[in-house]
Amino acid sequence: MMQLSDGSSRIYGEAAFEILAKAQELEKQGEKILHFEIGEPDMDTPANIVKAGIKAIKEKKTHYAPSIGIVELRNAVQNEVEKTRGYRPDLEQIVITPGLKPGIFFSMLSILNPGDEVIYQDPSYPTYGSVTAYLGAKGVLIPLLEENDFRINPDDIKKKISNKTKLIVINSPQNPTGSVITKNEISEIAEIAEKFNIFIISDEIYSKMTYGTTHYTPTLRDEAKERTVLLDGFSKYYAMTGWRLGYMITPVKMAMRLQNFLVSAISCTASFTQWAGIEALIGDQAFIKKMMNRFIMKRDRIVKGLNSISGFSCLSPKGAFYVFPNIKNTKMTSEKCANYLLNKAGVAVLPGTAFGPGGEGYLRFSYANTVENIEEAIERIKKLFE
Ligand SMILES: Cc1ncc(COP(=O)(O)O)c(C=O)c1O
């Protein structure tokens, strides 16, 4: 019998894609499924960005590019970070990746040894736990409590620090709860990391997707020069999920290691995608405002609707485009309830447990959908629980 590697048996996938496959199976059988499982904006990439991508292809920007990213985009990212985060990283700190996700993967590969402990939020984006497990490191989960609006409590982090703690992963605005960490909390977390000499990876993929609150980064403390890593990307707020484009701001020593990972794994991020990314950063930003105005309206509809269903209660999220309703009063597990909604109401959602054990008793809805579909889903679910 041929043996595959131990690490490959520990890495795991994402429930969103599994539920999507199940939903598509039902659709093939003629069911009308309403999709709330996949985390991507329901708007298309803005025309100016598409045009810049096409222009780049026509200009033959279709060859290999530097592994770390083209200098024109890295310059644009430098200006962007200065404008949005309040510090100007050196060019050597900036690494371009095909989407934010490889940034998580390669930065964790650069930081962790087997046996190291990684602190992250529970529930949280599954990639953090999956890569931790793959590397033989140990995940130390900090529960996000509904009573605290699903925000991580820095005191809880302090309590979990041991001499093996190597990394804290933070994500704000957060997937799956939509919580946004406050300025004080972010500063406290950055201070803790400094005091105990721990790395921070800050996943800021929803940085421009807040409702009436401001996004803060823990990387401001050391300007990503010592221990912090800023990850952001174009997927969500420029509706560019399929283009695959993200960036990292890291300590220079780490950027050099990352470059070797990129050379070995991907060679480079698609050249024309990077040119489209420049237009995204320097072009008209009105799209984001328009999208967020639509999201606010959808958020308010879905929160109101979910709160009107017997057994459901739902907080209003401060960022991203997810709601995380509490379904404990339905007396069902998250898994059972998600299956029930899919099979009986044709509404595809994720069980909270897809994001960690702390998600038990919750569901995640992505409200990147039409208002009509939101209203219809609420009606269908309501009927089931009447
Ligand atoms: C918290 C978080 N990080 C990273 C990603 C992945 O981003 P990308 O598509 O740019 O790789 C997602 C996508 O859902 C996410 O929710």
pLDDT of residue 20: 87
pLDDT of residue 14: 82
pLDDT of residue 167: 98
pLDDT of residue 38: 87
Task: Answer yes or no: are the C-beta atoms of 34 and 346 closer than 8 Å.
Answer: yes
Q: Examine residue 123 and say whether the peptide bond preceding it is cis (omega within 30 degrees of 0).
A: yes
pLDDT of residue 386: 87
Round to whole Å and give the CA distance between 301 and 308.
Answer: 11
Domains of the chain from N-terminus onward: 6-44+286-385 (3.90.1150.10), 60-282 (3.40.640.10)
pLDDT of residue 201: 98
Beta-ladder partners of 189: none
| Lining residues, ligand 1, CB within 6 Å | 39, 99-101, 125, 171, 175, 203, 205, 233, 235, 241, 246
pLDDT of residue 62: 97
- The residue among 363, 380, 385 whose CA lies nearest residue 36 is 363
pLDDT of residue 229: 98
Ligand 1 centroid distance, CA of 77 (Å): 18
Round to whole Å and give the CA distance between 331 and 91.
Answer: 53
Round to whole Å and give the CA distance between 303 and 300.
Answer: 5
* CA 125 to ligand 1: nearest atom: 1
pLDDT of residue 49: 98
Q: Which two tokens stand for residue 79?
A: 């200006």
- The residue among 356, 378, 360, 349 whose CA lies nearest residue 19 is 349
Cα separations (Å) of 256 from 110, 263, 265? Answer: 10, 11, 14
Ligand 1 centroid distance, CA of 48 (Å): 23
37, 97, 101, best to mutate for ligand 1 pocket (most atoms within 8 Å of CB): 101
Residue nearest to ligand 1 atom 6, measured at CA? 101
Residue nearest to ligand 1 atom 13, measured at CA? 39
Q: Encode the chain (386 residues) as per-residue pLDDT tens digits.
A: 899 999 999 998 888 888 889 999 999 999 999 999 988 999 999 999 999 999 999 999 999 999 999 999 999 999 999 999 999 999 999 999 999 999 999 999 999 999 999 999 999 999 999 999 999 999 999 999 999 999 999 999 999 999 999 999 999 999 999 999 999 999 999 999 999 999 999 999 999 999 999 999 999 999 999 999 999 999 999 999 999 999 999 999 999 999 999 999 999 999 999 999 999 999 999 999 999 999 999 999 999 999 999 999 999 999 999 999 999 999 999 999 999 999 999 999 999 999 999 999 999 999 999 999 999 999 999 999 98
* CA 233 to ligand 1: nearest atom: 10
- The residue among 162, 157, 113 whose CA lies nearest residue 135 is 113
